[in-house]
Structure 1
């Protein structure tokens, strides 16, 4: 879900860049480069209004998508943290060490005879 929103945000950001670059602050824009004014091209009266509405629409989508992504990651992150071993009540304890057998071994360990060093004369 979050991946889909992020991909859409990237696409809308690229479209927003294109729409902003097409606009001209004085009303000319890229449509005036093809001859004639922007108000008479193919019978469209106000091309600038469409580009302005697209700009605001793309901006609004990016704003809402960014806020929803933050909210979704916090809710998904908090539910994942409660299920992990961070939670003290759900944490597992370490296994107990094996205890020594209660009976002594049947054979005693073999030890080497102790030798005493002879003093040097």
Structure 2
């Protein structure tokens, strides 16, 4: 576990294919929005920034999944991303994926877990 783990949410706050939870991480000079979702029983987190144009993905607060609940979608351009990897699956992401954010789920909670090597710090 990373030395500076920070609580994001309780595990029960994330439902498979359901709403995500937004949080922020310290980026290059400023706080950057991020989100965590549950997909196939696991928590996955990314910067809340489309690979096509740096805008937030959610079409409604905390809504990141397409109607099928199989893909993350950019509400503005319709780019589709794989929830388990952030990989671009189609649309205007032009082969660029989402930027992953390190998280860990344990003891009924999800934590942001930056390491010394990560560009994201708490």
How high is the TM-score relative to the length of structure 2?
0.24
| Structure number with higher relative contact order (C-alpha < 8 Å, ≥ 6 residues apart) | 2
How high is the TM-score relative to the length of structure 1?
0.24
Report which of the two has the higher share of helix. Answer: 1
Report which of the two has the higher share of strand. Answer: 2
